[in-house]
Amino acid sequence: MSLDAVGQLRTTTGTIATTSDARLKKNVTEYTGALAQISALRPVHYEYREPGKSFQMPGRHLGFIAQEVEQVFPEWVSQGDDGYLMLSLRGFEAVAVRGMQELSAENEALSKTNSALQSKIERLQAQSKAFEARLLALEGNRR
């Protein structure tokens, strides 16, 4: 872990706790559109070219490319004194939770639509059988 002069913390674990008390916040607004933003992110596997230089462990990692994330969440990207971009995924949990909520709402709406369509299909099948029976009866009477 390293701490630079402007207070940027680099850690290999990514574990940092911050205050989140409502009494400290203002201008709180509802967040929407998480699914679109999540879909715009590209998770990648990668290895650091010079792990020691970037204070990272050697080997394969899973994450994002800062330049790509910056297009979706510019507030998550900052530039270090060395000129390299850094990610602070502060708020990612909220984005993930909202995305799951949006998926859940979509799933619920699709389930209701599916149930309604299934009921309609069953009614139409029953109607079709009734029409078929009437047709057979009419054809039988003509003979």
In a domain, 19, yes or no: no
In a domain, 46, yes or no: yes
State residue 139's pLDDT score: 86
Who contacts 46 (Cβ-Cβ below 8 Å, separation ≥6)?
60, 61, 63, 65
The residue ranges of the chain whose pLDDT is under 70 are 1-11, 13-16, 54, 143
In a domain, 98, yes or no: yes
In a domain, 22, yes or no: no
State residue 6's pLDDT score: 46
State residue 8's pLDDT score: 57
CA atoms within 13 A on the CB side of 81: 9
Domain that holds residue 107: 2-11+29-142
Q: What is the pLDDT of residues 62-79, one digit of tens each?
A: 999 999 999 999 999 999
In a domain, 105, yes or no: yes
What's the distance, Cα to Cα, between the start and end of the chain in Å? 93
CA atoms within 13 A on the CB side of 103: 11
The answer to whether residues 38 and 96 touch, using CB atoms and an 8 Å cutoff, is: yes
Structural domains in the chain (count): 1
> How far is 117 from 62, CA to CA, in rounded Å?
42
> How far is 132 from 135, CA to CA, in rounded Å?
5
